[in-house]
Structure 1
Amino acid sequence: MILIADGGSTKVDWILLNSKRKEVSRVKTYGLNPSVIEKKELLNIILGANQLIEIKKEVSEVHFYGAGCGTKKPVQILRDVMKSVFVNAGINISEDMLGAVYASSRKKPAIVCILGTGSNSCYFDGFKIKPSTPSLGYTIMDEASGNYFGKILLKHFFYKKMPGNISENFKNEFNLDVDTVKRNLYRESNPAMYLASFAKFMFDYKESKYIQEIIKNGFQKFFEYRVLPFDKDKNTPIYFIGSIAFYFKDILEQVALDNNLIITDVIQRPIDRLVEYHQNLT
């Protein structure tokens, strides 16, 4: 059996294929970002997924495409964890950008962008991924990501910059006790995921001018830092992956046009197309 996984910092989508590469089952787990989550917790997340544990000895291949898997050390950490569980499997771990490329451009030249819990981009020339810059994560980068917008919402709430009705609903939806917020930001294991949890609030207020302005400004920063440096014209296909891009597609497309570019496609969840890519391998 073959396991295909699309791993973000918040969640992982797993699909199990049989020996004929037909889908058998689907599983969701918490995120497995080895750059921010300790090895023991990574293992516990997998061990907590009964559907995975029940078939662990039957799995012959694992293809994991994940956030935080762009450098050697975290990749090795996650590989060791996977190998301790799927003892009979060959373990293949790649960064989420490669999975995004396979799910969108299918190995054809394109700019491919991710707007999830974090954000990233690359130019794929048909052979190799070329990032615009190394990703340094949520503290100083990740423009237009879930954690980026979550930070803005939190700051606006505490600085009293939110419109009154939105502020009141924001307070009712989340535990905004100062000590609780600070503990999650500075003591818990995955602050990026915590910050991104606030961004979901924007989906319910997407018609609000306040939210639209925040989104538009964030998308423009993403283009400035993560798309325009590739110096490609409007004939270059551009793909976006992730819920932030999907739910605010209209604003994203307008920002692209403002920068004289055209978005080819926006894909909310890449896992299905990623599986199709593997099913079509010979």
Structure 2
Amino acid sequence: MKLLVDSGSTKADWIAIDDDGKVLFITQSLGLNPEVLSHDQILDRLNEKFDISQNKTNVSHIYFYGAGCGTDRMKNYMTDIFKKYFKNATVLVQEDTFAAVFATTAKNEKAIVCILGTGSNCSYFDGSVLHQKVQSLGYIAMDDGSGNRFGRHLLRAYYFNKMDAELAKELAKEFDLDPDYIKNKLYKEPNPNAYLATFAKFLIKHKENAYCKKIIKKELKAFVKNYIMQFDNYKEVPVHFVGSIAFYLKDELEAMLLKKGIKLGNVLRRPLDGLIAYHAVD
């Protein structure tokens, strides 16, 4: 049994396959980002999913692609947890960008591969090796164009009275905007970045509103400039995307890229289908 895991900060998608690529089970847990979760919190999230906990001794390989796993320290941290939990398994932990690469690129294809979901990321794949020019400092300092950035904009605009009254009214209908509730979510509970990202759906739903349109344009422009354009060949190779923000804002993203002479490649909401084909032949 091989476990393929694509984990963001909000959620983690799990698929178990056999050597022929046949799906044995599919499940979903809360996200397993080691940058924002403790050892015990990660174990709790594994144990609360029956399909995962009951099969932990049956797993021969686990391929974990996760947000927050971009450094050797975090990779080793997650590897140690999985080796103890899945006692019979060979464990490979890589950052979530690799899942996006394997799902979107053809064999030996050169491409820039981006993630736009709860967080954001961007790398250049030369056909065999992944190159990054921007080391992420996490959701507080970076993550341009991401769901958590959209949430931050909406909350600030609501409290600074920067959005129109009708939009503010709609936001208050859909979310608990009590300041104590928000502060508890941001500073007391785990995964504040995932909480902020819950507002992204509202922004996309109201993307024709003047304020929402402005924020979407501002964040996508920042992502293109600060991430994609770091690579000298950004006009020469396709730019692929994975993530809910990219998927639901594909038209806006394509228009932004077109202005910069950038070719939009594949846009996937999630990479798991591509990962099944990739790992079935391991």
Please report the TM-score for the alignment, with normalisation by the length of structure 2.
0.96
Q: Is the 8 A contact 2:228 2:234 kept in 1?
A: no
Alignment of 1:9-48 (within 5 A): 9-48=9-48
User: What is the Cα deviation at residue 30 of structure 1?
Assistant: 0.2
Alignment of 1:58-207 (within 5 A): 58-106=58-106, 107-207=108-208
After TM superposition, the structure 1 stretch with the greater mean CA deviation from structure 2, 41-50 or 163-172, is 163-172
Aligned to 1:234: 235
Structure 1 letter corresponding to 2:60: S
Aligned to 1:219: 220
Q: Is the 8 A contact 1:60 1:88 kept in 2?
A: yes
User: What is the Cα deviation at residue 233 of structure 1?
Assistant: 4.7
Structure 2 letter corresponding to 1:235: E
SS of the equivalent of 1:264 reads strand
SS of the equivalent of 2:198 reads helix
After TM superposition, the structure 1 stretch with the greater mean CA deviation from structure 2, 65-74 or 17-26, is 17-26
Aligned to 1:278: 279
Q: Is the 8 A contact 2:110 2:125 kept in 1?
A: yes
After TM superposition, the structure 1 stretch with the greater mean CA deviation from structure 2, 118-127 or 207-216, is 207-216
RMSD of Structure 2 on Structure 1 (CA): 1.2
**Structure-2 separation of matches of 1:212 and 1:206:** 5
Structure 1 letter corresponding to 2:166: N
Structure 1 letter corresponding to 2:39: K
SS of the equivalent of 2:241 reads strand
* Structure 1 residues 96-116: Cα deviation after superposition (integer angstroms, max 9, x where no partner): 111111111144210000001
Large movers: runs of 4+ above 6 Å: none
**Structure-1 separation of matches of 2:200 and 2:143:** 13
Structure 2 letter corresponding to 1:27: T
Change (3 A) 1:163 1:126: same
* Structure 1 residues 200-219: Cα deviation after superposition (integer angstroms, max 9, x where no partner): 21232133232222111110
* Structure 1 residues 8-39: Cα deviation after superposition (integer angstroms, max 9, x where no partner): 01000110002333111101000000111111
User: What is the Cα deviation at residue 173 of structure 1?
Assistant: 1.0
After TM superposition, the structure 1 stretch with the greater mean CA deviation from structure 2, 140-149 or 226-235, is 226-235
How many aligned residue pairs are there? Answer: 281
Structure 1 letter corresponding to 2:187: Y
After TM superposition, the structure 1 stretch with the greater mean CA deviation from structure 2, 88-97 or 195-204, is 195-204
Q: Is the 8 A contact 1:42 1:78 kept in 2?
A: no
Alignment of 1:48-63 (within 5 A): 48-63=48-63
SS of the equivalent of 2:87 reads coil
**Structure-2 separation of matches of 1:42 and 1:272:** 25
Please report the TM-score for the alignment, with normalisation by the length of structure 1.
0.96
The unaligned stretches of length 5 or more in structure 2 are none
After TM superposition, the structure 1 stretch with the greater mean CA deviation from structure 2, 196-205 or 165-174, is 196-205
What percentage of aligned pairs have identical amino acids? 41
Q: Is the 8 A contact 1:2 1:21 kept in 2?
A: no
**Structure-2 separation of matches of 1:38 and 1:54:** 22
Structure 1 letter corresponding to 2:54: E
